Structure formats: C-alpha cells, structure tokens
Amino acid sequence: MGEETTSLGSISISPNVVATIAYQATLESYGVVGLAPRNLAEGLAQTIINEPARGVAVDYDGENVDIEIHIIVEYGTRITSVAASVANTIRYHVEKALGLRINTINVHIAGLRVSSTD
Amino acid sequence: MGLDSPETQQRLEKFRGAPMDGQSLKRLVEAGLTWLRTNQQMVNALNVFPVPDGDTGTNMVLTMQSAYNEINDLGHRDVGEMTAAISQGALMGARGNSGVILSQLWRGFSRGLQGQEVLDGPGLVRAFAEARDTAYKGVVRPVEGTILTVAKDIAAATEAGLSSVQDPIELLALAVKAAEASVERTPDLLPVLKQAGVVDAGGMGLFFILEGMLRHIYGEPLDTPLASVQPLSAMNLESAMEEVEEGQDYEVVVDFYPQGTLDLKTFYGKLESMGTSIQVGEGEGMYRMHIHVPLENRYQPIDYIMGLGTITKVAMENLIAQMDEIDQKAKGDYFELANVEPGQIAVVTVSPGAGLSRIFASLGVAAIVEGGQTMNPSTQEILAAFENLPTDKMIILPNNKNILMAANQAKEVTVKKVSVIPSRTIPQGLAAMLAFNPDDELEPVAEKMNKSLGLVQSGEITIATRSVEIDGVMVEKGQVIALLDGKLVLSAKTVEKAVLGLLKKAEAADHELITLFFGEDLSNADANQIADKVRKAYPGQEIEVQDGGQPHYQFILSVE
C-alpha cells in the first residue's frame, strides 16, 4: 500500500484504487468489449461479490506500479493496436489521477468476441 | 471557386452522369486521404484525449494510406469488392486508437455495400449506418464527443435526408455538413475537450476524409489547408517547395502583427485569389503568412497585409530559378520522419538514396543518416542523428556490414540506451522495421527485429569496377554482377539478365513477394520494363517496384 506524508497526516492509496481506475479506463478503450477473470477462482468469486475491477491485477510496492490486465477484444479489429492503446490509456489515467509511476502494463488477450453482423 | 461556378456545375454533371463504380470510389478515397494529409498537422494539434500524444492525424493518415495502398492497383471492381479491399487495408494498417476506429468504420461501411455494383443513395446511407453500428460494437462504454459521435450524427443525418434526396453526391454533401456540425459540438459532450479549448481530433479527421471526397467532386484544391492557424513551429515551409507548379513563380513569406483580430475566413479568401500553397502560422501574437504567387502578383500579398497591421519582415524567393535545382535532387527528396515522444523507441537508419529514405520514413524511422556502400557515415554522424531526439531508447539499423562498426561505436559513446540491429542490407533493414513497435520496451523489440532479419533474402545488382574472380564467378570489368546476401553469385551482360539470374538463385519461385528498388542510374521506364519481365517469369509472386534512388546499385531486391 502506498503512503505519502503531508503536514496534516498521511495519504495512502490501496492497489484496489489503481485497479479500479485501470478497469474503468479499459472499458472506455476502443476495441475492448470486456475483461476476463484471471482464473477460475476469481471467476467464481465474481458471481458472489461484485468486485469493481475484475480481470485486473495490480502489484504496487509503494513506488512502482505493475499492472496485469486480461481483456476480450472485438473480432475484426487490429489486436496489437487495441492492446497498445489499452496500455496507453491505463498509463495516462493512472498517472493523471494518482501521480504514480507505472513500471509495466501487461495486456493479455483472453478472448475475442465475434459480433453478430446482421 | 463557388459551388455555382460553371466549372463546378460541369464536374457535377459528369459525376452524376456516370454511375459511381469502384474506380470512382477509389478516386474519392484517394481524395479523402490527400485532404486528410494536407490537414494532418492541424488534427495532430487537437489531440488531448485520451492520451495527449499529438498523433491522431498521423495515425489516421497511415491507416487511410494502408487502405488506399490495398486498392491502388486494383482494376475495375464493383463498389462492394472495392470497399471490402479498403476495409482489409485499413484493418491491416490500423494505427492507434483513432486508426482502429477508422478501420472499423470502413469495415461497417463495406458491409453496408456488400454485393453492390455501384454506389447509390440508399446504399450510401446503409453503409454509413453499418459503419456507425460496427464502430459502436467495438467498445463497452462508448465515449461521446469523439469520432464515434460524429459517425453517429453522419448516419442519422443521411438517413433523415434519404426521404427527400436520392443522389449519392448530395447525400455525401449532407454527411459532410453533419460531420462538421457534429465536430463543432464535441466540446459540449466531452468536458476534457472544452477544458483544452479544442474539438475532437478523430472526429475532425473523419470530417476531413469525407470533405476531401466532396472537394474532389466539386473540383476544389486538396493541397491547401483550410483556413487555419498553426503554431509557428509547425509550419513546414520546406515541404511547400516541392509543390511548385507553373504559375507559382514566387514564394512570399510575410511576418506581421495584425491590428485587432484577424478574420481568418476573409484573410484566406483574399489570399486564395492571389495564389496557392497558403499557410498561416501564429506565435506570441505574430503571424506568418506563406503563399506561392505568379510573377505579376508578387507584391499583392504584401500590399494587402500592409493594410491589416504592421509588417515586420518580408521574404521573397524566385521559385522558378530554384526549380532546376529541385529537379536535380531526386523527385520528392522530402519525407516526414516519425515523431518520437519521450519514452518511445526511436530508430536511426542509414539509407543510400532519397526513395529508400522515404520508404524508411513511412515505416516509422525517426532519423536518417545518408550513406551506404562507398560512403560510410562516421560514428559522429550517427551520434549526431540521434543525440537530439527526445528519448533515450534507440535502435540503429546500419544496413551495411561496413557501417556496423561505426554503429557499435556510437552505442559505446552515448549515454542513451542503444541496440544495434546488425542489418547488412537495405531489405534486411526494411524487414526489421516491419517488426518495429515504438511503444514497447527496447529488448523485446530489438529481439523481434533481429529475428526478422532472417526472413528476407537481399539481392544487389551493380557494375563490376574491375575484373576479378570470386567464389568461382568470373567477372570482367564493366559487366553487370549480382550479389545474393552479400555473396557474388553471377555476372551477366545486361541488368535484366542479372536480375532474372539472381532471382533464380534466390529460388524466388518458392517465395511470395519480390520487391525491386531501382537506383538513380535507371529511369522509371527502364525499371518498369525489367519489372514486367520479372512479372512474366514469376506470375505467382507479387512484384513491387519502388524508386530507391540509391547510387551505384541499379537494383536492390528483396525476396521474402
């Protein structure tokens, strides 16, 4: 958990906050049609609690942030471009909101969605 | 030129008289691309969302370029097939967020025209609607006030218009009008735009593509940007030199401080009556106007601006006198190098000719050092090329075994993180660039680029400078020789024979793509004649011919 001390006290930022921002940013990224649970356990947990940041894992040592994100992409888009812009968008939003330095963002394409065309 | 002018009316008659087939659509796409490119810097300057990296215009141009490349040499096709090819090209070349959305718009557009021979009103409306639907499907939470909204407004306006208008050209005009209004509204929908005081860049790009098509139909010029003011630093007065035509004898540049506010529409309108290639820049209250005018008009812009405020400087150049000089330089010496942002990887490459430099630039190279066989650049020259780039991650492509050493030395000397990809030939360098991604980390990118070196065979055709026997090949001075991956493989009496012999040695029949880069010693016609022979000999392979502009080598070939 990251902490910063001000003259009035300390401010701490939970990795969950980073994950939520990343999650929201991803949903607004073009080409992403969903996020995927990282594993079966998370998938099960999801049906029980409504976690606001599924498919996102954040590793935050108080200085550097590492993000893993599992996304589902619309079939027929250029997947590498979509993934690159997801990473860009997450970096931009997290750095803007929290002023944290992002070390790595790994984007995993967990699946493709084929939209019915007609 | 007014809409009611006889010329415009005549053009409209011509367009209305013939059904809009695939070939007409191709020209419209080309016009859309050209107009977008003309206004590219303006679109780039708008970029604030979601990542303020200022390359929306560039990304959209590259995506459109890829779409156009796909149809460039397609013969007669109906619009259904043509748009399918456009969609394919846009998909393959989609760059950045806006490029991906643009490719989805084309995908939907082509879906709406599937199986259609010509473009009619209802077809166009269906295509716009499908474009909107397809684009919206690609995102969970669409952000309004972006290119998506503009696509939606275009579809709505043309759908509504269809009840009274059937003509595709009039519907296109409706679409352009709707796009313009929609772009204007984007700041009301997206606060971040309002804060920055701009409109959405992607939406603006889409507007330019459609407007370019319409301007082409109306016969309006596509090479002068719209009435717009750019930052002084963004003015590119060098490139304007390339576009010199008859009747544009003088270049006039005037710096001035206007009295009160400058009414841009009137200003541009007045300038357009005097000349072409108009650009206006602004910095800290000072304006710079650039224009090409015929001899007899050369003082007009100065007199006109004198009445608008205070002139601080006037520069005038006789372009006709410089024309010969420009002709001497390879046609189109100008090219746009990739813009590098801090944190990105920049590639420096060594290129022996203008054409090759342009190809490298189009692939995303950030700096070019002139050099090659018999003109090896120094370590210092390579260093100078990248020391000023605003990033510390560099890749060097020497493209010649003799330059590898200098590149490695440059790596030792600099404090930047440098990876040298040991490309020994131009085709290897180009192959490596195809694997390049500026936004990744240095090591994985370098590794990918390294791997791609092996995917291509490089051939070189040149004239022997002395008689020699190497690797069992007898060569007499003055004969044409062919090298495959740096090894002498044969000698021949003519360039054509050497090329065909080389391709045989490279077992080109087992490969897919043969690219011929012809050098400065060969004319376009000669090169194409030889290319035709190659096409005949290799009907199953795709043959590309590019103006490489390199000295000494009649041809550089790549087989992959």
CATH number at residue B391: 3.40.50.510
A109: tokens are: 């394409």
Burial of residue B342 (CB within 10 Å: 0-12, 13-18, 19+) is: exposed
Residue with tokens 């055709």: B461
The backbone region for B526, taken as left when phi is positive above 0, alpha when psi lies in -120 to 50, beta otherwise, is alpha
Question: How many angstroms separate the Cα of B451 from the Cα of each of A55, B15, B54, B175, B431?
Answer: 32, 50, 31, 46, 10
Note whether B210 and B247 are same-domain residues.
no
Task: Measure CA B483 to chain center.
Answer: 32
User: What whole-number distance in Å separates Cα of residue B418 and Cα of residue B421?
Assistant: 10
CATH number at residue B99: 1.25.40.340
B147: tokens are: 């290119």
Note whether B174 and B213 are same-domain residues.
yes
Question: How many angstroms separate the Cα of A43 from the Cα of each of A34, A40, A51, A105, B128?
Answer: 14, 5, 11, 22, 39
Residue with tokens 């590794």: B447
pTM over 0.95: no
Domains in chain A (CATH in brackets) are 2-113 (3.30.70.1350)
Partners of B420 in the beta sheet?
Answer: B396
User: H-helix or E-strand containing B360?
Assistant: helix B354-362
CA-CA-CA-CA dihedral for B10, B16, B20, B26, to nearest 10: 20
Helix (H, G, I), strand (E, B) or coil at B251: strand
Residue B339 inside a domain? The answer is no
Residue B335 inside a domain? The answer is no
Q: What are phi and psi of A99, to 5 degrees?
A: 65, 20
Cβ pairs A/B, distance under 8 A: 77
What pLDDT was estimated at residue A46? 55
Chain A touched by B115 (CB under 8 Å): no
What pLDDT was estimated at residue B336? 72
B271: tokens are: 């300038």
Chain A touched by B298 (CB under 8 Å): no
Contacts of B142 (CB under 8 A, 6+ apart): B136, B148
Note whether B118 and B266 are same-domain residues.
no
User: What whole-number distance in Å separates Cα of residue A83 and Cα of residue A18?
Assistant: 19
Of B51, B91, B137, the CB nearest to A89: B51
Q: Total domain count for chain B?
A: 4
- CB spacing of A32 vs B111 below 8 angstroms: no
The helices-and-strands tally (H runs, E runs) of chain A is 3, 6
- Sign of the alpha-carbon dihedral angle for B441, B443, B446, B450: negative
User: What whole-number distance in Å separates Cα of residue B456 and Cα of residue B473?
Assistant: 24
* B213 in Cβ contact with B32 (< 8 Å): yes
* B411 in Cβ contact with B379 (< 8 Å): no
Residue B29 inside a domain? The answer is yes
Instruction: Choose one of B268, B293, B328: the last residue of a domain.
Output: B328
DSSP B98-166: HHHHHHHHHHHHHHHTTT-SSB-HHHHHHHHHHHHHHHHHT-SSPPSSSHHHHHHHHHHHHHHHTTT--
Report the amino acid identity of residue B14: K
Report the amino acid identity of residue B144: E
Show residues of chain A in contact with B99, CB under 8 Å.
Answer: 78, 81
User: What whole-number distance in Å separates Cα of residue B407 and Cα of residue B422?
Assistant: 9
What pLDDT was estimated at residue B77? 80
Burial of residue B370 (CB within 10 Å: 0-12, 13-18, 19+) is: middle
Chain A touched by B7 (CB under 8 Å): no
Note whether B292 and B255 are same-domain residues.
yes
* Each residue's pLDDT expressed in tens, for chain B with a length of 560 residues: 456 677 788 888 888 878 888 999 999 999 999 999 988 878 887 766 545 456 788 889 999 999 999 998 888 789 999 999 999 999 888 887 888 899 999 999 999 999 999 999 999 999 999 999 999 988 888 889 999 999 999 999 999 999 998 899 999 999 999 999 999 999 999 888 887 778 899 999 999 999 999 999 988 888 776 655 555 545 544 433 344 455 567 788 888 888 877 777 788 778 878 877 777 777 667 788 888 788 888 888 999 998 888 888 888 877 766 555 544 443 444 567 878 888 889 999 998 888 888 888 888 898 888 887 667 787 778 888 887 788 888 999 999 888 888 888 888 878 888 999 999 888 899 889 988 988 888 899 999 999 988 888 999 998 887 777 777 778 888 888 898 888 888 888 899 999 999 999 888 888 888 999 998 888 888 888 898 889 888 988 888 888 888 888 899 999 98
Note whether B24 and B37 are same-domain residues.
yes
Show residues of chain A in contact with B437, CB under 8 Å.
Answer: 80, 84
Note whether B123 and B25 are same-domain residues.
yes
Q: What are phi and psi of B331, to 5 degrees?
A: -60, 125
Note whether B156 and B246 are same-domain residues.
no
Chain A touched by B54 (CB under 8 Å): no
ipTM of the complex: 0.74
Cα atoms found within 13 Å of the Cα of residue B108, Cβ hemisphere only: 26
Note whether B447 and B502 are same-domain residues.
no
What pLDDT was estimated at residue B241? 37
Domain carrying residue B288: 229-328
* B110 in Cβ contact with B77 (< 8 Å): no
User: What whole-number distance in Å separates Cα of residue B187 and Cα of residue B20?
Assistant: 36
B450: tokens are: 């390294």
Instruction: Choose one of B158, B183, B218: the last residue of a domain.
Output: B218
Closest to B21 measured CA to CA, from B80, B86, B78, B74: B78
User: What whole-number distance in Å separates Cα of residue B251 and Cα of residue B272?
Assistant: 14
Helix (H, G, I), strand (E, B) or coil at B494: coil
Task: Measure CA B261 to chain center.
Answer: 35
What pLDDT was estimated at residue B87? 93
Note whether B424 and B516 are same-domain residues.
no
What pLDDT was estimated at residue B156? 96
Note whether B38 and B129 are same-domain residues.
yes
Note whether B43 and B175 are same-domain residues.
yes
Show residues of chain B in contact with A28, CB under 8 Å.
Answer: 50, 139-141, 143
Note whether B413 and B388 are same-domain residues.
yes
B365: tokens are: 């190279």
H helices present in B162-299, as ranges: 168-189, 191-196, 201-218, 237-240, 264-272
B340: tokens are: 């590098």
Chain A touched by B140 (CB under 8 Å): yes
- CB spacing of A31 vs B439 below 8 angstroms: no
Burial of residue B483 (CB within 10 Å: 0-12, 13-18, 19+) is: buried
User: What whole-number distance in Å separates Cα of residue B102 and Cα of residue A84?
Assistant: 16
- CB spacing of B100 vs A33 below 8 angstroms: no
What pLDDT was estimated at residue B327? 47
Show residues of chain B in contact with A102, CB under 8 Å.
Answer: none
B435: tokens are: 């694997």
Helix (H, G, I), strand (E, B) or coil at A75: coil
**Segment A62-97, tens digit of pLDDT:** 778 899 999 999 988 999 989 988 998 898 888 888
Residue B336 inside a domain? The answer is no
Question: How many angstroms separate the Cα of B557 from the Cα of each of B123, B425, B459, B510?
Answer: 44, 10, 5, 16
Task: Using DSSP bridges, classify how beta strands B513-518 and B393-397 pair: parallel, antiparallel or unpaired.
Answer: unpaired
Instruction: Choose one of B455, B481, B496: the last residue of a domain.
Output: B455
